[in-house]
Amino acid sequence: MATMIDTWSLDREIVLVKVLRHPREKVFAAWLDPQALAQWYGPDGLEIETHEADIREGGHWRFDMVGVFEGKPQRFPGLMHFVEIVPNERIVMNYGTPDPNDPDRFRVTVTFDVQADGKTILTMRQLHPSRARRQVVIGFGAVEYGMQTLDSLNRWLSR
């Protein structure tokens, strides 16, 4: 039986796309290296503290995003469970907090497509548990923060 997180529905989806002037293999590798992730992942102004990293199918990455947010010191705990990793093509993960009963956990699918000129088209699809939750995260700034994350990836790849 399909669960809510497995059944795709456009009214629960957020899609972010970024064209990167880097080869697909390099872009994909940045997602699999915990040290790299800690350097580029997350919105502007927040840093990553990794607690555990086992980035493989069935593995997870547990981390905190820390920094000053809306004028106050903040800590945002995060947990990614890696459901599927297809080298240089796709990463599928469930994203939420370390709480095993997190009701706001959502599915993320990242795809890596090659353009004719060798650039990589990275598409990040988020599938939220409900239309209402999707609206909450859009209102919170999920699109802007997601694009900041992809911009940070681009800067990291360009170093």
Q: Is residue 70 over pLDDT 80?
A: no
Q: What is the pLDDT of residues 72-89, one digit of tens each?
A: 899 999 999 999 999 999
The more confident residue out of 70 and 68 is 68
Q: With respect to residue 78, please indicate whether it lies within any of the assigned structural domains.
A: yes
Per-residue pLDDT at 2 = 47
CATH number of the domain that residue 134 is part of: 3.30.530.20
What whole-number distance in Å separates Cα of residue 2 and Cα of residue 33? Answer: 31
**pLDDT, tens digit (0-9, with 9 covering 90-100), for 98-124:** 999 999 999 999 999 999 999 999 999
Q: Establish if 1 belongs to a structural domain.
A: no
User: What's the Cα-to-Cα distance from 110 to each of 31, 65, 84, rounded to whole Å?
Assistant: 10, 20, 10
pTM of the model: 0.91
What is the pLDDT confidence band of residue 59, given thresholds at 50, 70 and 90? very high
In a domain, 119, yes or no: yes
Sequence letter at residue 124: M
* pLDDT digit string, tens, across residues 28-51: 999 999 999 999 999 999 999 999
Q: Has residue 124 been placed in a domain?
A: yes
Domain assignment of residue 5, yes or no: no
Structural domain boundaries, residue 47: 10-158
Structural domain contains residue 127: yes
Domain count for the chain: 1
